[in-house]
Amino acid sequence: MPAPKPRPAVKSAASGKPAARPNKVADKLARLGLKTAIDLALHLPMRYEDETQVVPIAAASFMGGSHAQVEGVVTSCDVQFRPRRQLVVTIADDSGPLVMRFLNFYGSQTTQLAEGTRVRARGEVRHGFFGAEMVHPAYKVINEGAPLPTALTPVYPAGEGLSQVLLRKAIHDALAQLDWHDTLPDALCAALGLMPFEQAVRLLHNPPAEVDEHALEERSHPAWVRMKFDELLAQQLSLKRAQQARRNKGAAPLTRTAEISAELLAALPFQLTPAQQRVLTEIRADLHQPYPMQRLLQGDVGSGKTVVAALAAAQAIDSGYQAVLMAPTEILAEQHFHKIAAWLEPLGVPVAWLTGSLKKKQKQEALAKIESGHARLVIGTHALIQEGVQFEQLGLVVVDEQHRFGVGQRLALRNKGLADVAADVAPADSPDGMGDIATVPHQLMMSATPIPRTLAMTYYADLEVSVIDQLPPGRTPIVTRVVDQNRREEVIARVHAAAQEGRQAYWVCPLIEESEALQLQTATDTHAALQAALPDLRVGLVHGRLKPAEKQMVMEAFIRGETHVLVATTVIEVGVDVPNASLMVIEHAERFGLSQLHQLRGRVGRGAAASVCLLLYQSPLGPVARQRLMTMRETTDGFEIARRDLEIRGPGEFLGARQSGQALLRFADLETDQWLVEKARDTAHMLLQNDPATVTRHLARWLGEKEEFLKV
Ligand code: ADP
Ligand code: MG
């Protein structure tokens, strides 16, 4: 394909408005998000085709199986009907013949490819029954002596109804009109060893024949590096700006750690671990600030995050503010309520409880206590708390197991939800003279899912991170065994033995993603089967369809030790804390993801008793499932598990494509381009401090209207 001829400039494209092409094309381009000249210029090829050379047919057929371009004159052109209707065209050059075979074709092709026509054909050469052939080659009709392109031919991501030819024309036009200024100062490019923007973009659209094709393919070519760097820089700048915007919001400094904090610490039946102590110090310092904390508290399952949350809440309460703790599930919210209320109520701190299981009247009472400020701490599920609860003076929001919340919910929490929740904190005419500066509560997010460093630097770039990297003392490590499902009888015997020793067991039912009804059925069946197999034990059942009050009863019976075995669906996945449970059985473990298995396993090993986790699997195991189960057997370290998870799945899936921020990165890859992420982060930091004009220019080019998305 020869490079398209330059067309008259379309004025509006350069000024950032849609190009004045025939509307249909413009519409199709717009559907790909290609509205302006810069959009088109940054629509970079996925790959290239080398049409710069023609090889003799004999040489191409000798290369068999690889791609080649040949040129020849049509010697025959027939529609054949066996084994099915197809167009068979033979071409020949001085070295020999080659068959082009088309299984789908237009009638017009028979005339287009009439005998004597000269064509260039490109495709994979195979050895067919009649010698060398290409099935569905790309071809074009040419005149003898037509020049070969001197650049590799780009292949662009295209949408429906958009041909490569059309895209190439549109991009070619855009390149002719683009305002080519480099958003980065020359000195900076030189210091970072970056190729100039214009040179990089032009090269990627039109690589000279002698370019290092491998580097282009791998996207390691300096031109690609420049694109990736620019993209990552835009992402970092945007995230850092969001962080600054947050700092420009006000928050009530929570400076007192007096009675409640001290009494709670004194009343705890244990000493904080050094790691808990350290993160608490970090959180306390944040809460002192007059702008809202956004801190992620990471700690492996069982590392003791809840008590840290309670101590943060105590600081808010000591400072005269209310605090709220949200959990993703009823069971977890309930458990937090029991545990934390037991800590705080003896100290005279009223704790309110908001959940779906409350009767209307109880709920109204709770809401009234929250609004009047009587309740100092509110615990519940996020759904209820976000429903527009009025606070008297909210100072701190704690979100437990934040990785369980969807992206939408997280965005709502971090932006709108927070503002809504916070609307009552400081009215616009507040007497403290803060005028119309919106004040929002401090926010602490907790998660047991460790975030790999690159992701933390991108998606979470505007969060501070604290890590509890140590488990409370006295825990014996959990022993994990991978057991074939057909040894179920032995497993049941093991459950029986554990119960006889006064310990308790979870039995997690298989995950059935296709059907909740089926999953429920399985749980019910498993419960019946286990109860029948263990007539002298009490077997409980908890699943997502139980009414909240029923769930509560089942959980309480298990916590009190009245049931020996708790058959459960994944509703128990997060947070559930029953230290006496020391045996975890997971059926069809091969169906669960790594982080889910880790979370489930984390329900045991919480007391002093040696705990065991049995992963039952159905053979044969696929390679990925095998890798996961081996990982579980080899390590109980959440960070290591997350690292392997990332290895097995890649960052896109690690947090869900959108959550990782990867989806917003078109060119860079968080895994392979980690070194660039770090460079981009440092550069962003430097530019924000010293060069606001460059920041604005760069963001305008790379993000335009997309900036909002990055904050999710
Ligand atoms: P997670 O970090 O998974 O939320 P939890 O907060 O549920 O962990 O704590 C796990 C268990 O460890 C709880 O029973 C909790 O009371 C206990 N615990 C927390 N901190 C300590 C500590 N410093 N010493 C001993 N036990 C602790
Ligand atoms: Mg927890």
> What separation in Å is there between the alpha carbon of 577 and the centre of ligand 2?
8
Q: Which region, left, alpha or beta, applies to residue 665 given φ > 0 means left and ψ of -120 to 50 means alpha?
A: beta
Q: Quick check: CB of 305 below 6 Å from ligand 1?
A: yes
Q: Which two tokens mark 352? A: 């309110």
Residue of 277, 306, 601 best suited for mutating to test ligand 1, as the one with most atoms within 8 Å of CB: 306
Model pLDDT for residues 265-302, shown as the tens digit of each residue: 999 999 999 999 999 999 999 999 999 898 989 888 88
SS3 314: helix
Q: Quick check: CB of 472 below 6 Å from ligand 1?
A: yes
Picking from 167, 179, 198, 173, the residue whose alpha carbon sits closest to that of residue 6 is: 173
Model pLDDT for residues 31-56, shown as the tens digit of each residue: 878 888 998 999 999 888 888 889 99
Tally of CA atoms within 13 A in the half-sphere of 329 that contains its CB: 22
Strand order in 322-327's β-sheet?
A: 351-354, 377-381, 322-327, 394-399, 442-447, 294-299, 464-468
Model pLDDT for residues 306-341, shown as the tens digit of each residue: 999 999 999 999 999 999 998 877 778 888 898 899
Instruction: Output the pLDDT for position 458.
Output: 65
Q: Quick check: CB of 270 below 6 Å from ligand 1?
A: yes
Instruction: Tell me what the mean pLDDT of segment 644-653 comes to.
Output: 63
Question: CA–CA separation, 595 vs 55, rounded Å?
Answer: 53
Residue nearest to atom 9 of ligand 1 (CA): 304
Residue nearest to atom 13 of ligand 1 (CA): 304
Cross-strand partners of 442: 396
Residue nearest to atom 16 of ligand 1 (CA): 304
Domains and CATH numbers, the chain: 53-148 (2.40.50.140), 259-468 (3.40.50.300), 478-635 (3.40.50.300)
Residue of 339, 577, 600 best suited for mutating to test ligand 1, as the one with most atoms within 8 Å of CB: 577
Ligand nearest to the CA of 305: 1
Does the pLDDT value for residue 655 go beyond 90? no
Instruction: Output the pLDDT for position 22.
Output: 55
Share of the chain above pLDDT 90, in %: 43
Model pLDDT for residues 538-579, shown as the tens digit of each residue: 999 998 788 878 888 898 899 999 999 999 987 776 667 888
CB 291 within 8 A of CB 246: yes
Question: CA–CA separation, 377 vs 382, rounded Å?
Answer: 14
Model pLDDT for residues 351-398, shown as the tens digit of each residue: 999 887 778 898 899 999 999 999 999 999 876 666 668 889 999 999
Ligand nearest to the CA of 329: 2
Q: Quick check: CB of 299 below 6 Å from ligand 1?
A: yes
Q: Quick check: CB of 303 below 6 Å from ligand 1?
A: yes
Global pTM reads 0.65
Question: CA–CA separation, 520 vs 447, rounded Å?
Answer: 28
Instruction: Output the pLDDT for position 514.
Output: 65
Instruction: Tell me what the mean pLDDT of segment 442-451 comes to.
Output: 82
Instruction: Output the pLDDT for position 453.
Output: 62
Q: Which two tokens mark 192? A: 């970072």
Q: Quick check: CB of 306 below 6 Å from ligand 1?
A: yes
Tally of CA atoms within 13 A in the half-sphere of 15 that contains its CB: 5
> What separation in Å is there between the alpha carbon of 467 and the centre of ligand 1?
14
Torsion of CA 679, 682, 684, 688, to 10 degrees: -160
> What separation in Å is there between the alpha carbon of 277 and the centre of ligand 1?
13
Question: CA–CA separation, 337 vs 352, rounded Å?
Answer: 8
* Ligand 1 closest atom vs CA 305: 2
Residue nearest to atom 15 of ligand 1 (CA): 304
Does the pLDDT value for residue 237 go beyond 80? yes
